[in-house]
Structure 1
Amino acid sequence: MADTGEDRGASGTGEAFELPSLEEVQHWTGVIGQAQQMLMEHMAEAMAQAPAELPLPTMPAPVFPDPEKLADQQSELMKASLGLFGQLMEEGAGKEAARDRRFKAAQWRETPLFGVIADAYLLLCDAWLKGVDALEGLPPKQREQLKFATRVVADAMSPANFALTNPQVLERIFETRGENLLRGLEHMLADIGKGKLTHSDTDAFELGRNIAATPGKVIHETPLYQLIHYSPVTEKVVEVPLLIFPPWINRFYILDLNPKNSFIRWAVAQGFSVFVVSWKSADESMADVTMDDYVVRGQVDAIDTVRALLGVDHVHTVGYCVAGTALAMTLAYLAAKGEADKVRSATFFTAQVDFSEAGELNLFVDDEQLKLIDALTQGSGVLDGRFMAATFNLLRGRDLIWHYVVQNYLLGEDYPAFDLLHWNGDVTNLPAKWHRAYLENLYRDNLLVRPGALSIDGVPIDLRRIKTPAYVQAGREDHIAPSRSVWKITGHLAGPLRFVLAGSGHIAGVVNPPEAGKYQYWTCEAPAETLEAFEAAASETKGSWWPDWQAWTRALAPTEVAAEGARRPGEGSLPAIEDAPGRYVRTP
């Protein structure tokens, strides 16, 4: 009924209560019934396929805080809380929360109550974290674990994540008459069935067509990897080929997304003969694979294969993340065997060798977590890639979990067609024996920086013997391989080294083509003992660091040769097996 000003309630301040029509009752009853049916069908299917119960890690024992410090915190919280009630009568309610991306929408301030809810939530989050600081007797690592867990819980409890406390969701419910909740429930149940969160439209991309589509051929294959050789597009190419090792924790095509941001396509266009390793997602046949295999039967084998194919003495190499850690082991292994000249240069993308300050991922490495991994991999010897995906998502829960809960579950929006998010959801499985040793030997015990503490195929390795020219790239906002941790590689290698600090994080800091004109990078020609000294003396350059890398790499070996014969995939001694991107990238 329209409000004419004559139909008012007894107080004169609101509209008279009006019973919903039969049509409205039928509609909302139907929505509720449909939701119940969907939940019941999903629960029945889930119960039929329920896995064995997994052990959960224990929580730290409670420790009583300093009473005086706790009293001070409670007093501060009470004062701030009283101030929130005053905001109910002011237009400023929610202004503080507006600085947080979760509460930027105008709806949070149009109704003061929601602004106060958001402000109160942020106030409580601050109080919770201060409460952790007040706990006595906690070892530093356990305190950081508790802080991380507190942030995880706090993110989960955001009023933006619940329909009744999110004004945008309430608005959408009335706009769509509840259809958004049914679409969101459908999305949620589909994700529960898959065992992972969906971030993008799964039907928007096809490997080899509009993602991982740089032309090339698979020319070599082992039980561990396929070697892709990309087709040249220039008449001449750099004589020393470029061999890229992506991390086997994810698919290789993070470096070959769409043509506009593909590092592989860009490197080919710059005149490099480009080879890329596509690792096989682990299955039970790989249960006994260790770092020895990834180094010797992976990286060294690929280096020797490319050298033999092109008849060259050495190759340029790139190692991304964990493959960069393995590349450091490869260089140390080759140095120990007197074969260091097989590699002309080594480029490290956000790679760590010294794990003493490895960031929040270190919080996941303790005896309880290792027991959990053992339980998850018992029988198969393979760690399901969804476990690692969930771990990485937790590191950025606001962006990679709760944002999608709101957008796709509560608002019922369709998934975007985003190549990076498509890649992020294309998980790979890991050999359990390798993964456990990696966490224990590197993250927990930091053995790689202790000369001779680790051996590869029986050969003790020492990073100090590496004299190969190195280009080290770190991301300033990297939460997986923090720049402070990546910097430490500069103190362990003995050869000439160029360190570049790129804007953004673990992915965008690397995948940043010059044409995009985004971010910046910092370089420093003078020696620096610490990252802080580097940053203080560094000069900033706008845009991508890729051209800087190209100039550095070409200067080491500027000779070019004709792009013919073995420089073309399949035309040398190794015939083409199949078109890029190959079979292994499609292996679940």
Structure 2
Amino acid sequence: MSETPGTDQPNPPSVTQLWQDALANVSSALGKAARAPIPTGPSQPYDPLALFRSMSGFAMGLGANPKQLFDVQLQAAREWGEFWTQAWLPKADAEKPRDRRFSAPEWEEQPYFRGLRDAYLLASKQLRAVADVADGPHSPDKAMTAFVLDQYLNAIAPTNFAMTNPEVIRRTVETGGANLAAGFAHLLEDMASGKGIVRRRSDENAFTKGGNIAATPGSVVFQNHLFQLIQYDPVTPDVHAEPMLYVPPLVNKFYMIDLQPRSSMVRWLVEQGRTVFVVSWINPDESHRDCGVEQYVLDGIVTALGEVRKKAGKAKVDLFAFCLGGTLVAITLAYLAAKGRADEVGSATLIGSMVDFADMRDWSAFVHEAHLDALETHLEKRGFIDSTELQQLFAAVRSNDLIWSSVINHYLLDRAAPPSDLLYWFEDGARIPQAFLKSYNRGLLFSNALKEGTGFEVGGVAIDLATVKTPVLLVALKDDHVSAWSAVYDGGKLFGGPVTFILGGSGHNAGVINPPAANKHGYWISGAMPDRAEDWLTGAEKQPGSWWPVWDGWLSAAGSGKRVASRKPANPIEPAPGSYVSITH
């Protein structure tokens, strides 16, 4: 690459060079695609006929409500009339849609793009209004219809097409169209990978576990067939008497709480004088086929709890968990209460975790008997569900953020995937055993067993959350797409002991990783616990910054107040983050 005379700055590549590079990438991608194995057509983890049945039921529901449908159509006609009278007028600041897809200035400044955007948003709103007309209460069938409609509307957004996206048009002019050729090469490479499209959301070479991510010093101090137990090195001369044990979900690996040092929750907790232990689940294979919820509770959490207490002089343990890990911790608390062992735990913090599954929003579409049957047939072949399939499911629920934004960046704009520690963690997924999914989906989600008391058992013990007297802190996230914050709040009513609730800002993952130094997102707190989540929010007070210090204060208030000499890992097996976290098979 040449340099501009008299400067140290390289010239930007010429259009010719961009085309040469793009065509070379296309040629290479075609070769990879030709060598890629032909898909063998495995069974699907869902029932496509259930989708058709749901859409058929939706159509019949419209026919059963002709007056409501007419009212919606009449309202739509009025809105389109208003639209065409105002389409070419600039909008006031308060009227601009808050949609990140339309952040380019042309969407507001140029009448053509502004009209295109507003027409799409209006049509989307009206189609969703039509969907609401269908008869019947909220159910998996109705949720499935809403999910399919959202997928359609997200796919046809004008931002997803080269000729209706101003950023893509600008980039295409700059490169002479080479960006589209290079994007086609990326598409071929991703399809040849066998993992589907848009698999590169983050620069996969930017991070190394134990190097610049998952790098807080510590040691593996115990392991069995399900997990490694990591203990982190202390950095203070003395520590709180109560050690902490983190239980992650199975679908992702533990180190979301130990990303880069500046955002590591583990590092922050250690700096506050906490002794931190972490469960690092194994990435299961066919040998774990029969490991269900019971095994993960007893051989996993209960065993880890015992090991932590051995290493901390039989002290009570403060459990904390995220998402599915929190559901498992709640079950563990009820099991320990039934066994007369409740005093082994000092407190439990459940972050973005559900125990009442009455309101699963978009996820209700997948907790459908036909889909569960199809999933179990699919699982029989290998004994687990693959991490790629799970990531595709999560991406579908957040298709704008995790699919279509990547389509635009990689296939239309030819932008390299940026380094993102959170996306790197998200894409480093794990498998889930057959028995676990069956016991979790049917035994907990489908029957909502923890709320309805339908006899879900672990180790011969009927799980009843009302027997849990351990102090519980529920942390929900305002924009959570996985565990709706109001559903997390409702779950607190099932516990028999004191429950405190904090509402953090942002979403399911980003809202958890909110170090105080970043001063982001904010949170809501209230001393009251009314019956309805909406009433709690009305009476809550929003605070700036991070909820982490409030949590630390709550832990101290729930604890003994005693300090002991720092606990260093004894008889280490290997350094943190351990070997289980790197198992890919």
Would the TM-score normalized by the shorter structure come out above 0.5? yes
Contact 1:313–1:341 under 8 Å retained in 2 = no
Is residue 324 from structure 1 mapped to residue 315 from structure 2 by the alignment? no
What SS does the corresponding residue of 1:48 show, helix, strand or coil?
coil
Matched with 2:144 is 145
Matched with 1:229 is 231
- Report which stretch shifted further, 52-61 or 455-464: 52-61
The letter for the 2-side match of 1:255 is I
Tell me how far apart the structure 1 counterparts of residues 385 and 336 of structure 2 sit (CA, whole Å).
30
Which of 1 and 2 has greater Rg?
Answer: 1
- Report which stretch shifted further, 446-455 or 86-95: 86-95
Matched with 2:573 is 577
- Report which stretch shifted further, 389-398 or 33-42: 33-42
The letter for the 2-side match of 1:351 is S
Matched with 1:250 is 252
> Residues 285 and 360 of structure 1: is their aligned pair in 2 closer, same or farther, counting only changes over 3 Å?
same
Contact 2:357–2:487 under 8 Å retained in 1 = yes
Matched with 2:132 is 133
**Offset at 1:381?**
0.6
Tell me how far apart the structure 2 counterparts of residues 438 and 134 of structure 1 sit (CA, whole Å).
33
- 1:57-98 per-residue CA deviation (whole Å, 9 max, x = no partner) reads 221223253445445544554555466566676667999776
Matched with 1:13 is none
What SS does the corresponding residue of 1:184 show, helix, strand or coil?
helix
What SS does the corresponding residue of 1:344 show, helix, strand or coil?
strand
- Report which stretch shifted further, 224-233 or 305-314: 305-314
Matched with 1:440 is 442
- 1:142-174 per-residue CA deviation (whole Å, 9 max, x = no partner) reads 223212211111001111101122222122112
Matched with 1:524 is 526
The letter for the 1-side match of 2:332 is T
Matched with 1:560 is 563
Matched with 1:491 is 493
Is residue 307 from structure 1 mapped to residue 298 from structure 2 by the alignment? no
Matched with 2:204 is 202
Matched with 2:155 is 156
Contact 1:474–1:487 under 8 Å retained in 2 = yes
The letter for the 1-side match of 2:227 is Y
What SS does the corresponding residue of 1:424 show, helix, strand or coil?
helix
> Which of 16, 28, 48 is 1:57 aligned to?
48
The letter for the 2-side match of 1:569 is P
**Offset at 1:249?**
1.3
Matched with 2:38 is 48
The letter for the 2-side match of 1:216 is G
Contact 1:233–1:271 under 8 Å retained in 2 = yes
Uncovered stretches (5+) of structure 1, i.e. residues with no partner: 1-22
Q: Percent identity?
A: 37
Matched with 2:298 is 296
The letter for the 1-side match of 2:166 is P
Tell me how far apart the structure 1 counterparts of residues 18 and 518 of structure 2 sit (CA, whole Å).
48
The letter for the 2-side match of 1:131 is V
- Report which stretch shifted further, 511-520 or 127-136: 127-136
Matched with 1:283 is 285
RMSD: 2.8
Contact 2:466–2:495 under 8 Å retained in 1 = yes
> Residues 497 and 251 of structure 1: is their aligned pair in 2 closer, same or farther, counting only changes over 3 Å?
same
Contact 1:93–1:116 under 8 Å retained in 2 = no
> Residues 422 and 76 of structure 1: is their aligned pair in 2 closer, same or farther, counting only changes over 3 Å?
same
Counting only pairs closer than 5 Å after superposition, residues 365-404 of structure 1 correspond to structure 2 as 365-404=367-406
- Report which stretch shifted further, 534-543 or 151-160: 534-543
- Report which stretch shifted further, 575-584 or 369-378: 369-378
**Offset at 1:497?**
2.3
Tell me how far apart the structure 1 counterparts of residues 540 and 90 of structure 2 sit (CA, whole Å).
45
> Which of 359, 365, 381 is 1:363 aligned to?
365
- Report which stretch shifted further, 283-292 or 82-91: 82-91
Contact 2:26–2:181 under 8 Å retained in 1 = no
Counting only pairs closer than 5 Å after superposition, residues 462-501 of structure 1 correspond to structure 2 as 462-501=464-503
> Residues 88 and 525 of structure 1: is their aligned pair in 2 closer, same or farther, counting only changes over 3 Å?
closer
Contact 1:97–1:115 under 8 Å retained in 2 = no
**Offset at 1:411?**
0.5
Contact 1:98–1:104 under 8 Å retained in 2 = no
Contact 1:97–1:118 under 8 Å retained in 2 = no
Contact 2:331–2:463 under 8 Å retained in 1 = yes
What SS does the corresponding residue of 2:473 show, helix, strand or coil?
strand
> Residues 93 and 169 of structure 1: is their aligned pair in 2 closer, same or farther, counting only changes over 3 Å?
farther
Matched with 2:99 is 100
What SS does the corresponding residue of 1:512 show, helix, strand or coil?
coil
- Report which stretch shifted further, 96-105 or 143-152: 96-105
Tell me how far apart the structure 2 counterparts of residues 307 and 29 of structure 1 sit (CA, whole Å).
63
> Residues 549 and 138 of structure 1: is their aligned pair in 2 closer, same or farther, counting only changes over 3 Å?
closer
Matched with 2:121 is 122
Contact 2:348–2:471 under 8 Å retained in 1 = yes
**Offset at 1:115?**
2.9
Matched with 2:176 is 177
> Residues 162 and 559 of structure 1: is their aligned pair in 2 closer, same or farther, counting only changes over 3 Å?
same
Tell me how far apart the structure 1 counterparts of residues 95 and 538 of structure 2 sit (CA, whole Å).
32
> Residues 95 and 163 of structure 1: is their aligned pair in 2 closer, same or farther, counting only changes over 3 Å?
farther
What SS does the corresponding residue of 1:506 show, helix, strand or coil?
coil
Contact 1:96–1:119 under 8 Å retained in 2 = no
The letter for the 2-side match of 1:195 is K
Matched with 2:355 is 353
Tell me how far apart the structure 2 counterparts of residues 515 and 47 of structure 1 sit (CA, whole Å).
48
- Report which stretch shifted further, 293-302 or 492-501: 492-501
Contact 1:316–1:346 under 8 Å retained in 2 = yes
Tell me how far apart the structure 2 counterparts of residues 86 and 363 of structure 1 sit (CA, whole Å).
39
Tell me how far apart the structure 2 counterparts of residues 108 and 536 of structure 1 sit (CA, whole Å).
34
Contact 2:202–2:419 under 8 Å retained in 1 = yes
Tell me how far apart the structure 1 counterparts of residues 542 and 343 of structure 2 sit (CA, whole Å).
33
- Report which stretch shifted further, 176-185 or 30-39: 30-39
- 1:327-361 per-residue CA deviation (whole Å, 9 max, x = no partner) reads 11111111111111111111111111111123221
Contact 1:243–1:275 under 8 Å retained in 2 = yes
